[in-house]
Chains A and B, each alone.
Chain A
Amino acid sequence: MLPEKKLLRMANQIATFFASQPGPDKAERVAAHLKDFWGPEMRAELKALARSGHERDLDDLVRRALPMI
């Protein structure tokens, strides 16, 4: 798998889990998970991917989490 594709997939997997959780703060929890377990370079890369046309490949929760990471 291409590294970019893998990163998008990993982010979406996290979103899939938190989407199943009760409560109104799903995007916040996705952001918290990304901040806790992904280093700043990986987060920056995810943001860069989102900016460079991959936003539509990202789960809505990830998109909402991006400004918080």
Chain B
Amino acid sequence: MKDFVIPAFPPGDDRDMGTPARTGAPVTLSIDGFEVTVPEGTSVMRAAAEAGIQVPKLCATDSLEAFGSCRLCVVEIEGRRGTPASCTTPVAPGMVVRTQSPKVKKIRRGVMELYISDHPLDCLTCAANGDCELQDMAGAVGLRDVRYEAPEGGSLANHFEARNTSGAPNPEWIAKDDSNPYFTYDPAKCIVCNRCVRACEEVQGTFALTIEGRGFDSRVKAGGAGDDFLSSDCVSCGACVQACPTATLQEKSVIELGTPERSVVTTCAYCGVGCSFKAELNGDELVRMVPWKHGGANRGHSCVKGRFAWGYANHSDRILHPMIRESIDLPWREVSWEEAIGFAAERLRGIQERHGRKSVGVITSSRCTNEETFLVQKLTRAVFLNNNTDTCARVCHSPTGYGLGQTYGTSAGTQNFDSVMQSDVIIVIGANPTDGHPVFASRLKKRLREGARLIVIDPRRIDLVKSAHVEAAHHLALRPGTNVAVVTALAHVIVAEGLFDETFIRERCDWDEFQEFAEFVSDIRHSPEMTEMLTGVPAEDLRAAARLYATGGNGAIYYGLGVTEHSQGSTTVMGIANLAMLTGNIGREGVGVNPLRGQNNVQGSCDMGSFPHELPGYRHVKNADVRAIFESAWGVEIDPEPGLRIPNMLDAAVGGSFKGLYCQGEDILQSDPDTKHVAAGLAAMECVIVHDLFLNETANYAHVFLPGSTFLEKDGTFTNAERRINRVRKVMAPRNGYADWEITQMLANAMGAGWHYTHPAQIMEEIAATTPSFAGVTYDMLEEKGSVQWPCNAANPEGSPIMHVDGFVRGKGRFIVTEYVPTDEKTGPRFPLLLTTGRILSQYNVGAQTRRTENTVWHKEDVLEIHPHDAEVRGIKDGDWVRLASRSGDTSLRAVLTDRVSPGVVYTTFHHPGTQANVITTDYSDWATNCPEYKVTAVQVSLSNGPTEWQKSYAEQAERARRVLPAAE
């Protein structure tokens, strides 16, 4: 029978349906005389809500499974004894339900009376006033009187008075916990509905909360004895705050600013998960960001960054006026927009006249919208008349572009995030989703708790390897730099043991190429026994993991920058693509190859033609037919040769042939490898234009600073890691005066472009008209559907949640031989340890945004993780200052001793400019794409007294470079 499909909610309909939706055969029942048809397994409560009838409730909410504890949702059902709870009672055919009767009304009033007898009646001054389900329910059940009172002069049994009526301290009273920077826990207001505890378990999967005690002593508790919210395992995702029906768990911003009166649905500007949020405001003052339950990527969940860390938008460091300077040793001078744009345009034109049209270029931003990115690459192609455009994907997922392009025909993840709920075996390789992509990680953990098996391939013991109710079946803790050897060994086992899916390969892939590949991987030198010495992965573990992936049901691979940021990044991506084809794990739900993209719009910036060799839609500039599309749209001739990539721009700048750069929303000085080389390249340029929210590190070398707008201040779209095009909506006017697309347009027009876009929707029209995978995308459509996944065109008018369903984009899937080549970055007597880098949950990328929020409470500085054994032989104790040195440079930071890293491996993050982890990293890079090898650097660690000479001179230079002259009268 066909599954019953619930009609989609119109955007904006946020009603709480009480219990989660179900899929199943239709069941028809009667509720209060109305006939309702819902899927089998639906609760009576939800069925009533579908019919527009809200049964009173407190412990139920549709993000959580029914719990049946509050007894407020009782109903009467004909032929059944008693008054069953509607949240825990599934519908049955022909059921006759009454949600209102004298009997249930009396029960509900009695229940509410008991709840309210142990709740303070300070509603008017309560932060949740008007946004409190307890208040709503007291009204809904008609509670008019509370008969329970404490005796005069005696003790009382409640949880909300600090002192009882005799003046003695109330032992049941617990003070408010405001240790978390973003929300408070006020036990006095708790009704112990358990929603927060269940949200922490079911939605977030952290299990940081519990109910302590029994009966009247039951209390919500974060962590163990002596813990508060901050010291517990709580990751501050906000799911508990979202679930709380009262003011017990309350955003501090609401306490301070009041309850919001309007909301706008928009998209988070942090990681590549692309969560949908409701920005809730009073006037143009943002009060809180609440995850939107209909968000296709996040399904109502959030993490600490998107939910809470938006304060940077109003940080005092934000620059709101354009600034210029003749040279970088001078202080900045605030000027009008006209003067700044004129200055920039004149300099760029001058450079082009003197040094040729290829002497300038752009870096597009993976944090800006698709429309803005499209305009920046258009600026270089149609106004500068060259292809010198690149984007931060160069330093993260460019190998994904190359590797998946070569094997499958297009550069994108194959699945939507929902797909993981159908996976049986999940490989996570070179990614740390609980920190980097936390909302996806929560889905993944949910699936693992349902029984899916996990294989982690990572040098570090990341949280997924073992955390609450999650344990990896295999953790292959490989030596950094040996990904290709491990992935090829997995293929060796699958081929040698005959575990490959021959039918799939014959139908969907090139059989000749498969045979060449099979012959290659069958060679004994690729066996796990032969590679064990090299990779450090025990052969038996690797064999077991390969067998599990090949035979365990739906197999899905998720990977991150631990795959791409290597000399052989592209080769590993191809190796991963090989594994999925080999086992037939592509083209349906629950399987696939999924790059976890770093920044909010890094997928979009790649789609929009930010790479120097590709026009929008991943089409090479050498193709005359593709150029013709843009030549006729733009009225210019497009250069048929690829332009410069970021590292090539910097090399060319040092060499003297590249002189001018427009860098939007990207901090290459901090994020790109080999800081000294980046600095030398920037210093050699005659015009560096930085377009950003803050005076970032790159701006130390800039001549023009154009203040940027935040994601709250403009319209546009972001495309997330599942190719989902989400709307970004302007919720307030840009504090700097202009949205970023307007600023790029002003610069283009100052150079004679003659653009006249008045709204980003017009830019999307141009994208759709020129780019086949976006052909069907319009703002009207996004308004109607909420979001859509590309390709969206005549062949896929509804978009494409899963790719390569009937065949690969390139036709036949292509197996590619993946020979392991050791990196040139080798350990030796001077540099005996391997440094690998990554990030943590509370900070984002270079930290420009998150360092300017309260998130610093979790991560004030970058630290070096070192194994106790390596620390002991160097005399290093936990918390000591250590000097971290490589062939490129040195820095100093504090050490943390942990066995999360193997002996011989050290780890740090790159969130803080004071540390400058990238002064350590080398200029080695991926063979195909020049993606830097961040993940492998040979280093030495020794005790130190504090900052290195480099750090001191860097800090001095940065301070000098940030001087701003007082504004002229």
- B927 and A36 within 8 A (CB): no
Q: B517 — nearest CB in chain A belongs to which residue?
A: A22
In residues 570-613 of chain B, which contact A (Cβ within 8 Å)? 571, 612-613
**20 further A-B pairs in the complex, CB-CB below 8 A; given A17-B821, A20-B817, A37-B645:** A3-B651, A6-B651, A7-B651, A10-B925, A10-B927, A10-B930, A14-B928, A16-B821, A17-B571, A17-B819, A17-B928, A20-B821, A36-B622, A39-B358, A39-B387, A39-B641, A39-B642, A40-B641, A41-B644, A41-B652
Across-interface contacts of B567 in A (CB, < 8 A): 13
* A52, CB-defined interface residue at 8 Å: no
State whether B927 touches A17 (Cβ < 8 A): yes
Residue of A6, A13, A22, A41 near B817 (CB, 8 A) is A22
Q: Is the pair A36, B817 in contact by a Cβ cutoff of 8 Å?
A: no
- Asked if A47 lies at the interface with its beta carbon under 8 angstroms from chain B, I say no
Contact B612 A39 (CB under 8 A): yes
Does B839 touch A at the CB level, under 8 Å? no
CA distance A22 to B387 in the complex (A): 33
Give the docked Cα–Cα distance between A39 and B594 (Å): 30
- Contact between A38 and B928 (Cβ–Cβ < 8 Å)? no
A6-B923, A13-B567 given; A22·B516 CB < 8 A: yes
Q: Which residues of B contact A17 (CB under 8 A)?
A: 571, 819, 821, 927-928
A42 at the interface (CB under 8 A from B): yes
Q: Does B619 contact A (CB under 8 A)?
A: no
B654 nearest in chain A by CB position? A3
* B655 on interface, CB distance cutoff 8 Å: yes
Contact with A along B863-885 (1 / 0, CB 8 A): 00000000000000000000000
Q: Which residues of A contact B929 (CB under 8 A)?
A: 37
Query: Does B89 make an interface contact (CB < 8 A)?
Result: no
- With CB as the reference atom, state the residue of chain A lying closest to B652: A41
Residues 636-679 of chain B, each 1 if its beta carbon lies under 8 Å from chain A, else 0: 00000111110010011011010000000000000000000000
Give me 28 A-to-B residue pairs in the complex whose CB atoms sit less than 8 angstroms apart, sorted by A's number: A1-B923, A3-B655, A6-B923, A7-B651, A9-B824, A10-B925, A10-B930, A16-B821, A16-B927, A17-B821, A17-B927, A17-B928, A20-B817, A20-B819, A21-B816, A21-B817, A35-B622, A36-B613, A36-B622, A36-B642, A37-B645, A37-B928, A38-B648, A39-B358, A39-B648, A41-B358, A41-B644, A42-B648
Whether, in the assembled complex, A64 has its beta carbon less than 8 Å from a beta carbon of chain B, the answer is no
The 8 A CB mask of A33-60 against B (1 = contact, 0 = none) is 1011111111000000000000000000
Residue-wise, chain B 281-324 has the 8 Å CB interface mask toward A (1 for contact) of 00000000000000000000000000000000000000000000
Distance in angstroms between the alpha carbons of A33 and B570 in the assembled complex: 13
Q: Are B651 and A37 in contact (CB under 8 A)?
A: no
B927 / chain A contacts, CB cutoff of 8 Å: 10, 13-14, 16-17
- Residues of B within 8 Å of A42, CB to CB, are 644, 648
Dominant secondary structure at the B interface: loop
What residues of A have a CB within 8 angstroms of the CB of B22 in the complex? none
Instruction: Choose from B622, B655, B928 the contact partner of A33 (Cβ within 8 Å).
Output: B928
Tell me the complex Cα distance, A20–B567, Å.
Answer: 15
**B620 on the A face (CB < 8 A):** yes
Of the four ranges (under 10, 10 to 19, 20 to 34, 35 or more), the interface on chain B belongs to 20 to 34
Q: How large is the interface on A (under 10, 10 to 19, 20 to 34, 35 or more residues)?
A: 20 to 34
Chain A residues with Cβ below 8 Å from B358 are: 39, 41
CB distance from B310 to the nearest CB of A (A): 38
A7 to B641, CA, bound (A): 18
User: CA separation between A10 and B930, bound complex, in Å?
Assistant: 8
Contacting residues of chain B (797-854) with chain A, CB-CB under 8 angstroms:
816-817, 819, 821, 824
Residue of B nearest to A16 (CB): B821
CB pair B928 A39 closer than 8 Å = no
- Verify B643–A39 contact, CB threshold 8 A: yes
Within the complex, what minimum Cβ distance (angstroms) separates B815 from chain A?
10
When distances are taken between beta carbons in the complex, the residues of chain B under 8 Å from A14 are 927-928
Write the chain A residue with the least CB distance to B567: A13
Q: How far is the CA of A6 from the CA of B924 in the complex (A)?
A: 9
Distance in Å from the Cβ of A40 to the closest Cβ of chain B?
5
Which of A14, A17, A21, A36 counts the most B-chain CB atoms under 10 A from its CB? A17
Residue on A nearest B647 in the bound complex, by CB: A6
Question: In the bound complex, what is the Cα–Cα distance between A16 and B816 (angstroms)?
Answer: 14
Could you say which residues of chain A place their CB within 8 Å of the CB of B642? 36-39
At the interface, is chain A mostly helix, strand, loop or mixed?
A: helix
Q: A10-B930, A21-B817, A22-B516 are in contact. Are A37 and B655 (CB under 8 A)?
A: no
Nearest to A40 among chain B residues (CB) is B641
Chain B residues lying within 8 Å of A33, measured Cβ to Cβ, are 928
In Å, the complex CA distance between A69 and B613 comes to: 16
Contacts of B819 in A (CB 8 A): 17, 20
Cβ–Cβ < 8 Å partners of B622 in chain A:
35-36
Closest chain-B Cβ to A37's Cβ sits at a distance in Å of: 6
Top 7 A-B residue pairs of the complex, sorted by shortest distance between their CB atoms: A20-B819, A13-B927, A22-B516, A40-B641, A3-B651, A39-B642, A17-B927
**Distance A38 CA – B930 CA, assembled complex (angstroms):** 11
Distance in angstroms from B662 CB to nearest chain A CB is: 18
Q: How far is the CA of A32 from the CA of B459 in the complex (A)?
A: 35
Counting chain A CB atoms within 10 Å of each CB, which of B516, B520, B648, B925 scores highest? B648
* Nearest CB in chain B: distance from A26 CB, A: 12
Select the residue from A9, A14, A41 with max chain B CB neighbours within 10 A.
A41
Contacts of B824 in A (CB 8 A): 9
Q: How far is the CA of A35 from the CA of B640 in the complex (A)?
A: 11
How long is the Cα–Cα vector from A36 to B819 in the complex, in angstroms?
A: 22
Cβ of A36: which chain B residues have Cβ within 8 Å of it?
613, 620, 622, 642
Chain A nearest CB: distance from B119 CB in Å?
66
Docked Cα-Cα span, A20 to B657, in Å, equals 35
Q: Which residues from chain A contact B654 at a C-beta distance below 8 Å?
A: 3
Which residue on chain A has the smallest CB distance to residue B648? A42
A9 neighbours in B (Cβ, 8 Å): 824
A62 to chain B, nearest CB (A): 12
User: What mask results when residues 510 to 549 of chain B are scored 1 for a CB within 8 Å of chain A, else 0?
Assistant: 0000001000100000000000000000000000000000
The chain A residue sitting closest to B387, CB to CB, is A39
Q: Which residue of A lies closest to B520 (CB)?
A: A22
Q: Given that A17-B928, A36-B642 are known contacts, is A41 also in contact with B571, CB under 8 Å in the complex?
A: no
Write the nearest CB–CB distance from A25 to chain B, whole angstroms: 14
- Point out the residue from B520, B571, B644, B930 that lies within 8 Å of A39, measured CB to CB: B644
Measured in the bound complex, the distance between the Cα atoms of B929 and A7 in whole Å is 13
B896-942 interface (Cβ within 8 A of A): 923, 925, 927-930
- Distance in Å: Cβ of B927 to nearest Cβ of chain A: 4
With A and B bound together, what is the CA distance between A3 and B651 in angstroms? 6
Q: How far is the CA of A10 from the CA of B612 in the complex (A)?
A: 17
- A27 to B356 CA separation, bound complex (whole angstroms): 32
- A39 and B925 CA atoms in complex are apart in Å by 17
**Nearest CB on B from A48, distance (A):** 12
What residues of chain A lie closer than 8 Å to B612, measured between beta carbons? 39
CB of B678, distance to nearest CB on chain A (Å): 14
Q: Which of B613, B657, B816, B821 contacts A37 (CB 8 A)?
A: B613
Question: In this complex, what residue of A is CB-closest to B927?
Answer: A13
Can you list, as one digit per residue, whether each of B721-765 has a CB less than 8 Å from chain A (1) or not (0)?
000000000000000000000000000000000000000000000
**Roughly how many angstroms separate A3 CA and B620 CA in the complex, as a whole number?**
26
Q: What is the CB-to-nearest-CB distance from A13 to chain B, in angstroms, rounded to a whole number?
A: 4
Q: Could you say which residues of chain A place their CB within 8 Å of the CB of B923?
A: 1, 6
Please name all residues of chain A whose beta carbon is closer than 8 Å to the beta carbon of B645 when the two chains form the complex: 37
Query: A9–B647 Cα gap in the complex (Å)?
Result: 14
Residues of chain B within 8 A of A16, CB atoms compared: 821, 927
* CB neighbours of B657 from chain A (8 A): 41
Q: In the docked arrangement, what's the CA distance between A9 and B929, Å? A: 13
Instruction: Look across to chain B and name the residue whose beta carbon is closest to the beta carbon of A18.
Output: B927
Which single residue of chain B is at the shortest CB-CB distance from A7?
Answer: B651
Task: For the complex, give the distance between the alpha carbons of A38 and B613 in Å.
Answer: 8
Residue in chain A with minimal CB distance to B820:
A20
> Once the chains are docked, how many angstroms separate the CA of A20 from the CA of B816?
10
CB distance from B375 to the nearest CB of A (A): 22
Q: How far is the CA of A16 from the CA of B823 in the complex (A)?
A: 12
C-alpha gap A10/B648 in the complex (Å): 11
Kindly list chain B residues whose C-beta atoms are within 8 Å of the C-beta of A39: 358, 387, 612, 641-644, 648
Q: Measured between alpha carbons, how far is A14 from B923 in the docked complex, in Å?
A: 16
